[in-house]
Structure 1
Amino acid sequence: MAMSGAGGTPGGIGEFLLGFVLAVAGGWLLMNQVVVSGGHWNLWGYNSFGLSLAPFVIGVAMLFFNGKSVVGWLLLIGGLVIVIAGVIANLQIYFRPTSLFQTLLMLVMLFGGIGLLARSLRAAGPAR
């Protein structure tokens, strides 16, 4: 059996590893600059997180009574979607102040690494 390159293609393994390291390092540095905090679940000035759990709790109760209840499954799944959407909608995401050079360096590492990964996995063929 002949040994092939990255992904079974004749691409270079060294190029693949360099691209992987660059993409991981650039992604980590970029995500390290992001601050995520939670917001408040307010509905007309009141905390509404408990209200968003109502369909989920009712669905769980219905499924404990009858595990084949279609309405119970719909309430359970709908309640989970409401909770997950509410958590995502109430996130506050900030990019920490950083220099333009550092930001460009992070982006070049991330997307340059992704480009090297893609090029190493491409099957070698005639140049177009």
Structure 2
Amino acid sequence: MAVAGGWLLVNQVTVHSGGWALWGYNSFGLSLLPFIAGTGLLFFNGRSVLGWLLLLAGLVIIFAGILANLNIYFRPTSLFNTLLMLALLAGGLGLMARAVRSAESSPDDKEPS
């Protein structure tokens, strides 16, 4: 149930990416500077701590920039379909939670006194 509800819900979502803007200008190139500098330092000296830090910082900046510039929209659907998706998702999660709870407090696991 949870998988079906989750799939139906996620299927209604549309994702678009926006431009990387900083003060009205395209700033994607600026996010590449630490990555390029770190890569250059690592080609010069593979054990350079500064090179590794710049490379990792550049990757984090690029990944965060991609996530920050996503526009996520829920496509129009009927109220019935939305309620069906949410009920399937919530019901399936509830059944999984009940199964985990009963497995943790199973009477078979208790030792006799």
TM-score range, shorter chain: 0.7 to 0.9
Percent identity reads 68
Match of 2:81 in 1: 102
> Separation in 2 of the partners of 1:39 and 1:68?
37
2:92 corresponds to which letter in structure 1? G
**Number of equivalences:** 104
Is 1:30 the equivalent of 2:9?
Answer: yes
Root-mean-square deviation (CA, aligned residues, Å) is 1.1
Structure 1 distance, partners of 2:82, 2:30, is: 41
Three-state SS of the structure 2 residue aligned to 1:94 is: strand
Question: Aligned residue for 2:33?
Answer: 54
- Counterpart of 2:90 in structure 1 is 111
Tell me the alpha carbon deviations over residues 29-88 of structure 1, each in whole angstroms, 9 at most, x when there is no partner.
000000000000112222111111110111011111111111111101110111011101
**Structure 2: distance between partners of 1:67 and 1:112:** 52
Specify the alignment match of 1:120 in structure 2: 99
Unaligned runs of 5+ in 2: 108-113
Q: How does 1:5-44 map to 2 (within 5 A)?
A: 22-44=1-23
* Alignment pair present for 1:86 and 2:65: yes
- 2:99 and 2:23 mapped to 1: Cα distance? 54
Would you identify which runs of 4 or more consecutive aligned residues in structure 1 move more than 3 Å? none
SS at match of 1:93: strand
Q: Which has the higher contact order (CA 8 A, sep 6+)?
A: 1
Matches within 5 A, 1:67-82: 67-82=46-61
Q: Give the letter for the 1:96 counterpart.
A: R
Q: Which amino acid aligns with 2:59?
A: L
Residue aligning to 2:110: none
> Aligned equivalents of 2:53 and 2:90: distance in 1?
41
Take 2:22 and 2:64, find their aligned partners in 1: how far apart are those partners? 15
Gaps of 5+ in 1: 1-21
3-state DSSP of counterpart to 1:53: helix
TM-score w.r.t. the length of structure 2 is 0.86
